[in-house]
A and B are shown apart, each in its own frame.
Chain A
Amino acid sequence: MAEDDPNDRGLEAFFAAGRDRAPAPSDALMARVLADAEAEMVRPAEVAVLRPAARPSRLAAAIASIGGWAGLGGLATATAAGVWIGFAGLADPLEASGLITPPLSVELMPGTESFMTASAEE
Chain B
Amino acid sequence: MALDERDGWSDDDLLALYARGDPVAARRLTLRFTPVALRVAQRMLADAAEAEDVAQEAMLRLWRMAPGWQPGQAKVTTWLYRVVANLCTDRLRRRRTVPLDAAPEPEDGDPGVAARMIAADRAAALEQALAALPERQRQAVILRHLEGLANPEIAEVMEVGVEAVESLVARGKRGLAVALSGRRDELGFEDG
Contact = CB atoms under 8 A, between A and B. Distances in A.
Contacts, number: 116
B44 to A, nearest CB: 11
B126 A5 contact: no
A42 B126 contact: no
A47 B17 CA distance: 13
Given A8-B173, A37-B30, A41-B21, A22 B39 contact: yes
Interface residues of B, number: 48
Interface in A20-35: 20-27, 29-30, 32-34
A5 B170 contact: yes
A119 B60 CA distance: 111
Interface residues of A, number: 37
B91 interface: no
B41 to A, nearest CB: 9
Contact of A26 (B27, B52, B124, B192): B52
A12 B123 CA distance: 11
B69 interface: no
A23 B1 CA distance: 14
B87 to A, nearest CB: 14
Nearest to A19: B146
Contact of A30 (B30, B39, B176): B30
A14 B124 CA distance: 9
Nearest to A42: B21
A116 interface: no
A93 to B, nearest CB: 62
9 contacts: A7-B176, A18-B43, A24-B3, A24-B38, A30-B31, A30-B34, A34-B30, A40-B63, A42-B20
